[in-house]
Structure formats: structure tokens, C-alpha cells
Structure 1
């Protein structure tokens, strides 16, 4: 069962920061997941629509310039990172799962991935995931081979049908949705099942027994 650090290792360090990603790498994760948003044509690694929960800023993220956002403290003196900075840090050390947050992210992310694929990176090392069907549909139009992960917190039948339509690599249901039947159905479709977000030791053991392929976790050390 693969261990995928959720927003790095957000139970141990400020989420979606370089410190969090370094912590996850030090724990030997099989992959790292994080969120990207398009801010005036720049890809920033940040989850929420608003700033208050994870930074010392105030207001909606899209109401501010990139320059201002980069001055904020995202926890323990960390900045909100650019996508390029995160990929440079992780390199080819582990799998990279980029979750698209909000519209107008797909084309920018794929442009960067294709540039990196021509360098020393390999696009097989990336999974592009989202709740947003429209963004994932565009991803598949832009690249017939890139690995796609479809996230689902409800209506798993609808999400799984879409995953089939875009030839997804993996299906990412919430812990509340996962049962042995769903695991078996996903596997019959030829996809991997990575469940989010699993932190409690009992739940870790439970989903492992169900045969899931991996877990997104805030505490990679607990799964290891």
C-alpha cells in the first residue's frame, strides 16, 4: 500500500509549504499530493479560497496579487510556494500528485509538465487530479497519456463513470465512501484506488485490509 503525503506532511508541518514537502520526503513517502491555483497566470501551491486558515493574510486569494501573496507567512516563516519550486524540490525522488483547484489551471499545469518532460523529468511520475470534471476533461484533451486521478467525496458512481470516460489512472474516494465492493469495482475498471484522508491507525489498518492501493495521509509516519 503506497503512502502519499497529503499536502506534504501537513500533520507535522505547515501544509503545502516547502517545509511540509521536505518533511514528507524525509519520511520516505511513495508520493506527495498538493494543490495548485491559477493566480493571474501563475501557479501557486495553496488549498483554500481564503487566506485566514493557513496564513497571516486576510480575504479571498484571488483578490490579491502574486507579489502580495508571496509576502505572507504560511506557517513557521514559510512562503506560499510556486509550483515550479515544489517540483524542483521533489524532483524525481517520489511521485507527484498535482490537484487542480479552481478553473483555468489545467492548461497551465500541462504546459509546465510537458516542458519538464523534455528535461530530466518523466511525465509518468505525475498524477493530475481534481474534483473538477471540466478541468480533467481538458487535461485528457491536452494529453492522451498523462495519469489522471478522479477525486470523489460523494456520488461515487457518477465520479467512477467519468473516470472511465477519461481513462483515468486512479480513483481517489474519501474514506467515508470506501468499502470492499468499491475497491473491487475500481480494480475491475483497471484503475488504482487511493483513499483520502487516512490518519487514524485503525482506519489505516481497515483500508489496507480492503486492498486499497494507497492512502493520502497527513501523517506518513503513522502509515509507515
Structure 2
């Protein structure tokens, strides 16, 4: 079962920062998860929210600032993260907006980071369809917080590797069904010990958590 650090090691360091990803690696993760929006100059930036209000000292949309300005506020580029991680673990890249899809694919194509260690996920299934259209080999995870059957049907359609469900959706029966259809199960975001025990008992393939050491 893979240990997947949510936004790095969000329980220990500011989320989606280089420090958080370094901490996750120090805690022995197999994979880090991160989120992407585009800067005003179309650079993939690693931040969860559409605005910078919650995680920086400034206000406004991510798209109001260029990459250099965002880096000065502690928001790394995806390239920064590739360079920091340097193939030491896998990376789950969650695309937050369809508009970022092509820029992410372009960066992956010309980067030295091992593409087999990259898994792209999104709640925007149009973005995932676009990813598959441009790259028939890249690994894809289908995010869902509502409908597992729909997610499985879509995952089959785009030849995804995994389903990333909200963990409250999971039962022993539906996890078995997902695996029977050939998909891995990477639920999110599980932090409390009793929830971790329950989800582990379902024999999922990986757990996305703010506290990797609890796994």
C-alpha cells in the first residue's frame, strides 16, 4: 500500500510548499500529491486554491500574478517540484482547471523527471480526457466524491490507472468491485487513526493523508 503525502506533508509543513514536499519525503512517502493552477504567464503553479488569499500574505487570483511573483510568495512552480523531488518518489499532479492541462503536458514532456512516476488526477474529467487525447501512456487517476460507478465507467473509457474516491464512499464490496475492474484505489484524505485502520482493512492500494507517518 502506497503512502501518499497530501499537498506534501500538510499536517507538518505549509501545504504545497517545497518544505512540505521535502518533509513528506523525509517521512518515507511513496508519492506526493499536489494541486495546480496557472500563473498569468501560463506557468503551472503548485497551489490548491484559485486565489492566493489563504496561503500567502497577498490577495487575488493565482492568474493575477506571474510565476516569479508567486514564487516570491512561496508558491513553487511544478518545475521547481520536479527538481526538488528528483525522482525520489512518485508525484500525483491534480489539475484544478482545464486551462492548465496543455501547459502541464508540455512541461512533463520536456522535463527530465521520470514520466512513469507521474500520475495525473482531476475532478475535471474533461481535463483528464484531454490528457489522454494527447498522451496515450501517461498514468491517470479519476477523482470523485459522489459516484463510484460513473467514475469507473469514465476510467475505463479513458484507460485510467486508478480511482481516487472520497473515503466515505468506500465499502469492502465496492473496493473489491473497483479492483476487479482493474483499477487501483487511492482514497483521500484520511488522517484520524480509526479512519486509517478502517480504510487499510479495505485493502486499498494507497492512502492520501496529511500525516504519512501514521500509515
Describe the superposition over 1:67-121 as per-residue Cα deviations: whole angstroms up to 9, x where unpaired.
Answer: 433332xxxxxx10011010111111111111101122121111111212xx4x3
Q: Which position in structure 1 is the counterpart of 2:7?
A: 7
Q: Give the conservation status (yes or no) of the 8 Å contact 2:38–2:62.
A: no
TM-score (norm. length: structure 1): 0.92
How much does 1:59 deviate? 2.3
Aligned pair count reads 214
Q: Which position in structure 2 is the counterpart of 1:71?
A: 72
Does 2:144 match 1:152? yes
Looking at structure 2, the residues matched to 68 and 18 of structure 1 have their Cα atoms a distance apart, in angstroms, of 16
Unaligned runs of 5+ in 1: 73-78
Q: Which position in structure 2 is the counterpart of 1:182?
A: 174
Q: Which position in structure 2 is the counterpart of 1:82?
A: 77
State which of 107, 113, 131 in structure 1 corresponds to 2:108: 113
TM-score (norm. length: structure 2): 0.95
Describe the superposition over 1:165-189 as per-residue Cα deviations: whole angstroms up to 9, x where unpaired.
Answer: 1011011001111111221111011
Q: Which position in structure 2 is the counterpart of 1:133?
A: 125
Does 2:215 match 1:220? no
Q: Give the conservation status (yes or no) of the 8 Å contact 2:37–2:50.
A: no
Looking at structure 1, the residues matched to 62 and 87 of structure 2 have their Cα atoms a distance apart, in angstroms, of 30
Describe the superposition over 1:2-52 as per-residue Cα deviations: whole angstroms up to 9, x where unpaired.
Answer: 110000001100000000000001011010010111223111100001222
Q: Give the conservation status (yes or no) of the 8 Å contact 2:71–2:77.
A: no
Looking at structure 1, the residues matched to 79 and 65 of structure 2 have their Cα atoms a distance apart, in angstroms, of 20
User: SS of 1:186's equivalent?
Assistant: helix
Looking at structure 2, the residues matched to 178 and 107 of structure 1 have their Cα atoms a distance apart, in angstroms, of 32
User: What is the root-mean-square deviation in Å for CA atoms of aligned residues?
Assistant: 1.2
Looking at structure 2, the residues matched to 106 and 59 of structure 1 have their Cα atoms a distance apart, in angstroms, of 22
User: SS of 2:98's equivalent?
Assistant: coil
